[in-house]
Amino acid sequence: MPEGHSVHRLARQFADCFAGQALAVSSPQGRFAAGAAALDGAVLEGARAHGKQLFLDFAGDRVLRSHLGLYGAWSFGGTERFRGASSIGAPRRIGEREDDDDAPADGPLSVPPPVGAVRVRLVGEEGWADLRGPSLCVIETRAEADAARARLGPDPLDPAADPEPFLTALARSRRPVGALLMDQAVVAGIGNIFRAESLFRRGVDPAAPGRSLDPATAEALWAENVALMRTGVRLGRIVTTDPVDRPGIPEERAWPDHAHYAYGRTGLPCRRCGTPVAAAPLEARTLYWCPSCQR
């Protein structure tokens, strides 16, 4: 499932490439036909993200709110003047590509036929965006969208976020901290990778009840996710290991070949202490941790 950094990159791309334009909106798949008809021709006024949800604000008090879920992705294309990632979200084989080697020659926009089950297609002046496989895709008023956003926890990628609701939720809960980090009503945008890696980097046992964490540790866990997710936005991928200090090397090449300390490394030696990395299900998702480093 795409984590919060990907959705913030989506919001930035929509704002940069489509804001202020009247968009042609359609539903090639047909499952969003009525919603597409209601948005067709409307001006995109802005784009914002909160956690894993994307809010596209259209003129006329209309918001297209979407959640990519496990399999959703936005893909993009356009003239050679269109700049941005060609795909953001799942499936993993697509990833977030920044190249534009396949961009058509300079000239008028020519939109290709849709490929696959495209729920929504947005077409602007220089490019298009296709949404496939979302778990949520709805039109709401601004008030309805804001109410949905208010039900989410604070977003570590929001510069104005107040971490206090997150800290309070931890301090009051007997649930494992590993479960609380994945609860979008507690904190928005953290997925399985950021959960595993932030807990590892702070040496926190994922099974520890939230209320057992001292305030300094809880605050450090928030700060860790802020830092890791900001790096994900900059690089367009999740890298949670520390960069190699090599002067003159671009940031995207400053990390070692391995991207994670614990996530996906079941049975392999911990990169810090050598203890085999453990894995177990926790609320339907696989949790990874080092039994030694995270006592």
Structure tokens of 138? 């709805």
Residue 243 CB burial class (10 angstroms; 0-12, 13-18, ≥19)? middle
Give the rounded percent of residues in the chain with a pLDDT score beyond 90. Answer: 79
Q: What is the DSSP letter of 36?
A: H
* Residue 2 annotated among the catalytic residues of the structure: yes
Predicted confidence band of residue 267 (pLDDT cuts 50, 70, 90): very high
pLDDT in tens, 71-94: 999 999 999 888 777 888 875 443
Q: Which two tokens stand for residue 233?
A: 């936005």
Instruction: Give the CB-side neighbour count of residue 170, counting CA atoms within 13 A.
Output: 25
Average pLDDT for the chain: 90
Distance CA 37, CA 25 (A): 7
Q: What is the 3-state secondary structure (H, E, C) of 150-169?
A: HCCCCCCCCCCCCCHHHHHH
150-178 pLDDT tens trace: 999 999 999 999 999 999 999 999 999 99
Six-digit token string for 86: 């060609």
The pLDDT confidence band at residue 248, using thresholds 50, 70 and 90, is: low
Has residue 247 got a pLDDT over 90?
Answer: no
* Annotated catalytic residue 65: no
**Contact residues for 38 (Cβ-Cβ < 8 A; gap 6+):** 62, 139
Q: Backbone phi, then psi, for 146, in 5-degree steps?
A: -65, -35
Question: Which residue do the tokens 């009247």 mark?
Answer: 22
Nearest to 89 by CA among 137, 139, 48, 130: 130
Q: Would you state the pLDDT for residue 249?
A: 57
Per residue in 271-290, pLDDT (tens digit) is: 999 999 999 999 889 999 99
Gap between the Cα atoms of 150 and 153, Å rounded: 8
Annotation says 224 is catalytic: no
The reply to whether 92 belongs to the active site is no
Active-site residue, from 9, 52, 62, 121: 52
d(CA 138, CA 68): 12
